[in-house]
Amino acid sequence: MKERPRVITIDGPAGSGKTTVARMLARHLGYGLLESGTLYRALTWLLVTQDPEALSGGDPSRMLRSIQEHLPRFSFELGSEGLRISFGSRRLQEELRLPEVERRVSAVAAIPEVRNLVNDILKRLAGKGPVVAEGRDMGSVVFPEAPYKFFLSASPEVRARRRYLEWRAKGISVSEEEVLRDIKARDERDSSRSTAPLSIPEGARVIDTSQLSPQEVLRVILRELFSSHP
């Protein structure tokens, strides 16, 4: 790595470990951490709490109108530990990882106008400093010019196990079988949607994290960063 790139992207499916690894990398490099999933979850949480009928009705136009109406109430702050998102005076944290948000976020993220809105926010935030950008289409759509791109993968069973343990540690009651069903359903939705489907970005280094700890994945990425010369 001859000079510090403005953007490093890490993409992958749910439960692949990309959020944990991206946070570790941002902390190691002193970069901001830009998480597209956090933004999509925040907008999904908004609909769950402010306009649940829009979600249950599956009306993209109504969902978009509701998001646009409430968007000014959000504030976003970039840091190495991730985006700090507030809705009015309320800081959003654990709310964004609730199962009801996880189950519905793909439907919200599939709306082209919502993706355009989120991408504009991501690009604006990235302009504030060097960032590790983590999500599902960071290297393919949002920052295709990034000199360093990584794509993390793992089997559905491994990813479901990780998510199940995460939720259980937070006191969320859910079975591992249910989590696996949700993971597989989300994979199908994310990879088959017409707008920005989940895919490996051109030029990305693919890392299977199934048998690797987050620290081991970080070491692989750091070796790539400091031994290559884009």
20 assigned to a ligand binding site: yes
Name the strand (E) or helix (H) holding 204. Answer: none
The tally of CA atoms less than 13 A away on the side-chain side of residue 32 is: 21
Token pair recorded at residue 120: 């504009």
Q: How does DSSP assign 18-82, residue by residue?
A: HHHHHHHHHHHHT-EEEEHHHHHHHHHHHHHHH-HHHHHHT-HHHHHHHHHHHGGGEEEE--TT-
Name the strand (E) or helix (H) holding 174. Answer: none
22 assigned to a ligand binding site: no
- The fourth-level CATH superfamily of domain 7-225 is P-loop containing nucleotide triphosphate hydrolases (3.40.50.300)
Q: How does DSSP assign 134-156, residue by residue?
A: EESSIIIII-TT-SEEEEEE--H
The pLDDT tens digits of the residues spanning 107-150 come to 898 899 999 999 999 999 999 889 999 999 999 999 999 999 99
Q: Which residue has the tokens 């359903």?
A: 185
The pLDDT tens digits of the residues spanning 168-199 come to 888 888 899 999 998 998 888 877 777 777 88
pLDDT over 60 (residue 230): no
Whether residue 72 contacts residue 86, with contact meaning beta carbons closer than 8 Å, is answered with no
15 assigned to a ligand binding site: yes
36 assigned to a ligand binding site: no
Mapping DSSP to helix (H, G, I), strand (E, B) and coil, where does residue 184 land?
A: helix
Token pair recorded at residue 209: 């994290």
The pLDDT tens digits of the residues spanning 32-75 come to 999 999 999 999 999 999 999 988 888 899 999 999 999 999 99
14 assigned to a ligand binding site: yes
Whether residue 85 contacts residue 42, with contact meaning beta carbons closer than 8 Å, is answered with yes
203 assigned to a ligand binding site: no
Domain ranges of the chain: 7-225
16 assigned to a ligand binding site: yes
194 assigned to a ligand binding site: no
**pLDDT value for 7:** 96
209 assigned to a ligand binding site: no
